[in-house]
Chains A and B, each alone.
Chain A
Amino acid sequence: MEHFQYFIELFLGGLTRGSIYALIALGYTMVYGIIQLINFAHGEIYMIGAFTSLIVAVVLTSLGFNQLSIIILASLIAVIYSSAYGYTIEKIAYKPLRNAPRLSALISAIGMSIFLQNYVQLAQTSDFVPFPSLIPDFDFVEPFAHIISTQEIIIILTTAVVMILLTILIKFTKIGKAMRATAQDREMALLTGVDVDLVISVTFIIGSATAAIGGFLIASHIGMINFYIGFIAGIKAFTAAVLGGIGSIPGAVLGGLVLGWTESFATGYISSDYEDVFAFALLVLILIFRPAGILGRTTAQKV
């Protein structure tokens, strides 16, 4: 019984972690699907989301707002602010390079990532800053508090809702169909009248918004942030996206969860010293046996 309880604990911990990875991985995979670029500045968007929500939360707390309105406003403003960053990064750093070799855009992405890290370090601080715990503990969770916390439940539920909304957007709306068409054949999408620039902008905005939600959730869960969190989370989420099959949206979610569980179980049953080793060892294994990732399509071009 005790073993089983420990297993459940690790399972839920992995699910929480994996949800966050999935939220960030979505941005990588959607952008890659549309313009075949690994947006290395994406982790920084997540970090900016965390900082924005922190600043908003601190200001609103000092103004005496109540808990619920702080949560809503902080996450909402973080989403808007991060989306604006995502949109602007695309316009400044990637759009001018759209017809350049892919390596140029990749280097531009890395440059953008370094720039944003240093910008936040200078504008804010290089120290860890405490993040207020915004999400209260609910009573009904109390009897199970040693298995799962309220925060974890909220993280898992929020992720699920975001995933469902995103699926509806992509499967059933006009802009969603245009996104899929652009990902499959950009020139042909242009020839059917799709405003490809707009589709790319929307993709960056959606990816940034989900990353910001992830940033807000994880910051209030862990309670500490600094300018460097985007780098680590970015690498992990990128791993999740590749694991699931880059360019595939269900793949990003699955990759995130698999990565979360791997880390959680490996630390729980083996050793916490090698958390990252397990994550990347899994990546290497999957890439050896399924180079396109778990759900990735091996693109066979038919002429």
Chain B
Amino acid sequence: MLRLNNIKTFYGNIQALDDVTIKISEGEIITLIGANGAGKTTTLMSISGLTPPRTGEVMFLGEPIHELSPNRIVTMGISQVPEGRRIFPHLTVLENIDMGAYLRSDKEGIKKDIEYIFDLFPILAERRGQAGGTLSGGEQQMLAISRALMAKPRLLLLDEPSLGLAPKVIRQIFDIIVQINTEHKTTIFLVEQNANLALKVADRGYVMENGRIILSDTAQNLLSNESVKKAYLGI
């Protein structure tokens, strides 16, 4: 479904990604793990078009998307839950959710999906009239996921959804991620520092270091891999 073929991404003259190749098939949960500054977020931004790769190609459903603008890429069916959640702080919760459906025009469908979201996260229904910036970290993460889901993505990119959240909330969020994957067959590309957690829900994983993919295997094999254990699982 998605293929990154030998992409190299730069910030000015600084190379952030070197020869990254990743393959994601429909319906999978794929995780990308690595330390701070390894290039995980850059990988996502190269897919979503905010920092397009200088060389290499990004293929989505057989079409090259690395030259499209970010809003065109959303139209193709990729939506993102960015690092730090990036809630529109002065829009209400409902308006934030609505923004996710910006490209859709099926009023009925949107209404139904908002109800589905409120079922998924009842707390958001309670807070629908509140400004997004007043929510707690966990609620904001739920809102960011809801906003991304409203675009009805075929591929959902998640950037560090566990960052800064309490363990109980993290578990809730990860349960929902798995639920989205099984219920809607939404393909998920999950970037995480919390390798243990990510590998437990993922089908396959990639390990990144200094802008390169150094390892890729099934999640189960990675969990028992000695060097992964040492470097990322703290065992």
Contacts and interface: CB of A to CB of B under 8 A. Distances in A.
A191 B90 contact: no
A137 interface: no
A72 B183 CA distance: 58
Given A177-B95, A178-B102, A181-B99, A191 B88 contact: no
Contact of A192 (B69, B84, B90, B100): B100
Contact of B90 (A184, A194, A195, A302): A184
A187 interface: yes
Given A177-B95, A184-B88, A192 B102 contact: yes
Contacts of A188: 82, 86, 88
**What DSSP secondary structure best describes chain A's contact surface?**
helix
A185 B89 CA distance: 9
A184 B70 contact: no
A174 interface: yes
A193 B88 contact: no
Contact of B91 (A174, A180, A196): A180
A181 B151 contact: no
B135 to A, nearest CB: 11
Nearest to B103: A193
A188 B159 CA distance: 13
B43 interface: no
Interface residues of A, number: 19
Given A191-B50, A196-B71, A184 B89 contact: yes
Interface stretch (B19-27, B31-39, B73-81, B226-234): B73-81
A180 B95 CA distance: 10
B147 interface: yes
A174 B105 CA distance: 11
A190 interface: yes
A303 interface: yes
A192 B91 contact: no
Given A180-B90, A193-B75, A302 B95 contact: no
Given A185-B86, A302-B133, A191 B91 contact: no
A181 B88 contact: yes
Contacts of A189: 99
A187 B91 CA distance: 16
Nearest to A303: B84
Contacts of A181: 88, 91, 99
A216 B91 CA distance: 35
B18 to A, nearest CB: 24
Contacts of A184: 88-91
Interface in A152-191: 174, 177-178, 180-181, 184-185, 187-191
Q: Which 4 A-B pairs have the closest CB atoms?
A: A193-B74, A190-B70, A193-B103, A188-B86
Given A177-B91, A196-B71, A303-B84, 10 more contacts: A177-B95, A177-B99, A180-B91, A181-B99, A184-B90, A184-B91, A187-B86, A192-B79, A193-B151, A302-B89
Interface of A: 174, 177-178, 180-181, 184-185, 187-196, 302-303
